[in-house]
């Protein structure tokens, strides 16, 4: 970086507040109609140094999140990535996920990309269900010649079908994350894939961690 781009953090003493830093981020983004702002863009157009901001909030992405902007890794997410995150949440909670649950683990995508793509959270869920239920269009993924006609990992649509059929409840013991938040569900092969079992609806079942780890070769 050349010295002409050097930025003084603050004139005379008074430390800049978190709010001022975030406000300036939003200002730069808004002035240009951007949903986010990158380090280099900010360095050119912003009032403060990007290193000051990153240091203050832990990381650049953390600052963007706190400013209500989107993080660069949330741009151009595919529909599949957005739907995968919904299925992760649905499986985790054992029920339709709520919008507020996007903000914390196990969600890896915030609300903004859903709103931009589908208009609202409800519309996102609608789009997900339509996509996941559209099983006719599925082709068996990654067949392994000679051994299997299906790949080891079930597709999103297949996992959705299994979980729906089993009502998000463990086939072994009946546990459900909807009733107890400590229950974690897995989609598991009945006849292990390594023993020649295929990745098809009839050979898949929903199991909780406890029941799943009681088995081997899954
Ligand atoms: Zn179980």
- Residue range(s) defining the domain that contains residue 119: 76-133
Q: Residues 215, 205: contact at Cβ < 8 Å?
A: no
Instruction: List the one residue out of 67, 35, 34 whose CA is nearest residue 48.
Output: 67
Number of compact structural domains in the chain: 3
- Res 30: pLDDT: 85
Dist CA 86 CA 159 (whole Å): 12
- Res 1: pLDDT: 43
Dist CA 113 CA 65 (whole Å): 12
- Res 149: pLDDT: 87
Handedness of CA 171, 172, 174, 176 (dihedral sign): negative
- Res 218: pLDDT: 44
Over the stretch 67-85, which tens digit does the pLDDT of each residue have? 988 776 667 788 999 999 9
Measured in Å, residue 210 CA sits from the centre of ligand 1 at 6
Answer yes or no: is 218 within a domain: no
User: Which residues have a beta carbon within 5 Å of ligand 1, which is an ion?
Assistant: 170, 172-173, 175, 208, 211
Clarify whether residues 87 and 66 are in a common domain.
no
Measured in Å, residue 172 CA sits from the centre of ligand 1 at 5
| pTM for the full predicted model | 0.66
Q: Residues 69, 35: contact at Cβ < 8 Å?
A: yes
What average pLDDT is seen over the chain? 87
Average pLDDT over residues 53-75: 84
* Buried residues in 61-71 as b, exposed as e (16+ CB within 10 A): bebbbbbebbb
pLDDT over 70 (residue 127): yes
Clarify whether residues 129 and 84 are in a common domain.
yes
């Amino acid at each position: 970086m050349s010295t002409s781009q050097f930025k003084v953090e603050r004139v005379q003493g008074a430390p800049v507040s978190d709010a001022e830093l975030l406000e300036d981020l939003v200002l730069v983004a808004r002035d240009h109609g951007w949903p986010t702002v990158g380090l280099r863009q900010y360095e050119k157009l912003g009032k403060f140094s990007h290193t000051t901001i990153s240091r203050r909030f832990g990381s650049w992405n953390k600052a963007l999140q706190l400013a209500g902007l989107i993080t660069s890794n949330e741009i151009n997410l595919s529909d599949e990535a957005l739907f995968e995150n919904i299925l992760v949440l649905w499986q985790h909670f054992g029920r339709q996920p709520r919008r507020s649950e996007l903000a914390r683990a196990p969600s890896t995508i915030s609300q903004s990309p859903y709103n931009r793509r589908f208009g609202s959270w409800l519309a996102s869920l609608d789009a997900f269900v339509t996509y996941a239920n559209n099983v006719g269009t599925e082709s068996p993924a990654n067949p392994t010649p000679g051994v299997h006609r299906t790949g080891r990992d079930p597709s999103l649509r297949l996992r959705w079908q299994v979980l729906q059929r089993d009502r998000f409840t463990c086939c072994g013991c009946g546990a459900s994350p909807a009733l107890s938040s400590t229950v974690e569900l897995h989609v598991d092969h009945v006849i292990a894939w390594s023993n020649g079992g295929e990745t098809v609806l009839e050979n898949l079942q929903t199991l909780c961690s406890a029941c799943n780890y009681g088995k081997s070769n899954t």
